[in-house]
């Protein structure tokens, strides 16, 4: 008989954009109701570079939480060419920073202040390795000589492989992987537990055809960009394998509707409301629902050396519903993923049992 209800420990989101101000306020309930903790991306404008900035941002996140919701933000440091190793160390030891984030300069939204030359930050990497602080990597090369769709593959070959040779004990998460090449590299390197990868719901669900179906689809544009069907199938195989080096990271990245639906639409998919339903749908279709708990709840804490969450979360099978835009205080729309799947139907039948509607 088909399963119609599923209870797992409360999951974590190991890659999340919460933004700031009224956008933060509008989106945080959607993550906090489904996830116990999340790794918070530091690519604000200006970015979260120092431990003092991270501490203040963490406080703003706590203040934005609706009454009665519990949620733990795990803060990250945005690495620049001039980040001070001592501040990273202090932030980590004081429990402000959980990890450091490497954006190659220009690789994605608000990555202008990112690292221009990975070799030049060797002292930072040496510090991270020594103190056991994980390095989270946006794995793309953003130079004009590299084809947009090859950015991840070229990054792995030109930057990541040499970096890991230089710092073999550095804990690394290759974030939001999108290619078969990345899956194979991470799987082949993970005899030791230093290298892991996160996988988003959108890269499991869509291939690059979805960018152009019936016309250009700005709400399907994210970075790294969607890839081929063969890549998507590799990602599904990795996520549903239960292997400890692959775990959830939604990369939920809200932008205002007007910023997405533009001649130069921003990269980023706001998946917080539907991410868990999508993962459940994918795992069920792959015949691997029994591996969902490892991917959503167990593998991440194991990598980060954090305790498992105490609470639980239940999925139930229900009739798919239409998704509505979310509104900020100023009544500006944010469109949740999957937008416009059909007029009345998100296509998602696994739903998190909610205590009360938002």
Pick what 109 binds: Zn ion, ligand DOR, none; C-beta below 5 to 8 Å, kind-dependent.
Answer: ligand DOR
190, HSE (Cβ side, Cα atoms, 13 Å): 19
204-223 residues near Zn ion, rule: CB under 5 A: none
Question: Among all residues, which ones are annotated catalytic?
Answer: 251
Closest CA to 149 of 216, 210, 218, 227: 227
Contacts of 230 (CB under 8 A, 6+ apart): 180
CB of 221 to ligand DOR, least distance (A): 7
- Rounded to whole angstroms, the Cα distance separating 244 from 247 reads 7
CA 334 to chain CA centroid, Å, is 18
Pairing assessment for the beta strands 312-317 and 5-9 based on DSSP bridges: antiparallel
Q: Is 281 among the residues that bind Zn ion (CB under 5 A)? A: no
Q: Is 253 among the residues that bind ligand DOR (CB under 6 A)? A: yes
Shortest-Cβ-distance residue relative to Zn ion: 251
Q: Nearer to ligand DOR by C-beta: 39 or 292?
A: 39
- Rounded to whole angstroms, the Cα distance separating 90 from 96 reads 9
CA distances from 31 to 24, 102, 139, 230 (A): 11, 23, 24, 30
Shortest-Cβ-distance residue relative to ligand DOR: 268
138-177 residues near ligand DOR, rule: CB under 6 A: 138
Q: Is 38 among the residues that bind ligand DOR (CB under 6 A)? A: no
Q: Nearer to Zn ion by C-beta: 134 or 291?
A: 134
Cβ 249 vs Cβ 198: under 8 Å: yes
DSSP letter at 269 equals B
Q: Nearer to Zn ion by C-beta: 87 or 251?
A: 251
- By CB under 6 A, name the one of 163, 223, 294, 326 that touches ligand DOR: 223
Contacts of 140 (CB under 8 A, 6+ apart): 104, 107, 108, 151, 152, 155, 223, 224
Q: Nearer to ligand DOR by C-beta: 54 or 352?
A: 54
Residues across the chain: 358
Q: Is 220 among the residues that bind ligand DOR (CB under 6 A)? A: no
Pick what 43 binds: Zn ion, ligand DOR, none; C-beta below 5 to 8 Å, kind-dependent.
Answer: ligand DOR
What tokens appear for 147 in the block? 């084809």
Q: Is 108 among the residues that bind ligand DOR (CB under 6 A)? A: yes
Q: Is 231 among the residues that bind Zn ion (CB under 5 A)? A: no
Q: Is 267 among the residues that bind ligand DOR (CB under 6 A)? A: yes
Q: Is 268 among the residues that bind ligand DOR (CB under 6 A)? A: yes
54-113 residues near Zn ion, rule: CB under 5 A: none
Q: Is 13 among the residues that bind Zn ion (CB under 5 A)? A: no
Q: Is 251 among the residues that bind Zn ion (CB under 5 A)? A: yes
Q: Is 43 among the residues that bind ligand DOR (CB under 6 A)? A: yes
Dihedral, CA of residue 290, residue 296, residue 297 and residue 300, to nearest 10: 130
Contacts of 301 (CB under 8 A, 6+ apart): 12, 307, 308, 309
Q: Nearer to ligand DOR by C-beta: 138 or 181?
A: 138
Q: 3-state DSSP call for residue 42?
A: coil
Q: Nearer to ligand DOR by C-beta: 108 or 198?
A: 108
CB of 15 to Zn ion, least distance (A): 6
Instruction: Note the residues at the interface with Zn ion (CB under 5 A).
Output: 251
Instruction: Note the residues at the interface with ligand DOR (CB under 6 A).
Output: 17, 43, 108-109, 138, 222-223, 251, 253, 267-268
């Amino acid at each position: 008989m088909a399963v119609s209800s599923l209870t797992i420990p409360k999951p974590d989101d190991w890659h999340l954009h919460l933004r700031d101000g009224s956008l933060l306020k509008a989106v945080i309930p959607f993550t906090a109701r489904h996830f116990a903790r999340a790794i918070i991306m530091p690519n604000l404008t200006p970015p979260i570079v120092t431990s003092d900035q991270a501490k203040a941002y963490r406080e703003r996140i706590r203040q934005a939480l609706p009454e009665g919701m519990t949620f733990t933000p795990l803060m990250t440091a945005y690495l620049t060419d001039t980040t001070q190793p001592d501040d990273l160390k202090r932030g980590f030891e004081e429990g402000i920073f959980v990890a450091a984030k490497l954006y190659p300069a220009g690789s994605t939204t608000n990555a202008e202040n990112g690292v221009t030359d990975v070799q030049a930050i060797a002292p930072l990497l040496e510090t991270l390795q020594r103190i056991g602080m994980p390095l989270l990597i946006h794995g793309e090369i953003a130079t004009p000589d590299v084809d947009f769709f090859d950015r991840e593959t070229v990054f792995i070959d030109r930057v990541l492989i040499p970096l890991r040779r230089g710092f073999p004990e550095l804990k690394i998460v290759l974030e939001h992987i999108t290619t078969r090449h990345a899956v194979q590299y991470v799987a082949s390197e993970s005899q030791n537990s230093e290298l892991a990868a996160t996988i988003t719901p959108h890269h499991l669900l869509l291939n690059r055809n979805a960018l152009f179906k019936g016309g250009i689809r700005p709400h399907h544009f994210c970075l790294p960009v969607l890839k081929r069907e063969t890549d998507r199938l590799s990602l599904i195989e990795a996520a549903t394998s239960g292997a400890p080096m692959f775990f959830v990271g939604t990369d939920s990245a809200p932008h205002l509707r007007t910023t997405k639906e533009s001649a130069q639409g921003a990269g980023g998919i706001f998946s917080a409301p539907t991410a868990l339903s999508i993962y459940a749908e994918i795992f069920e279709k792959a015949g691997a629902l029994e591996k969902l708990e490892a991917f959503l709840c167990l593998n991440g804490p194991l990598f980060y050396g954090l305790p498992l969450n105490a609470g639980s979360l239940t999925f139930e099978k229900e009739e798919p519903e239409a998704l509505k835009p979310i509104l900020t205080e100023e009544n500006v729309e944010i469109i949740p993923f999957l937008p416009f799947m059909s007029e009345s139907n998100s296509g998602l039948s696994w739903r998190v049992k909610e205590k009360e509607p938002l």
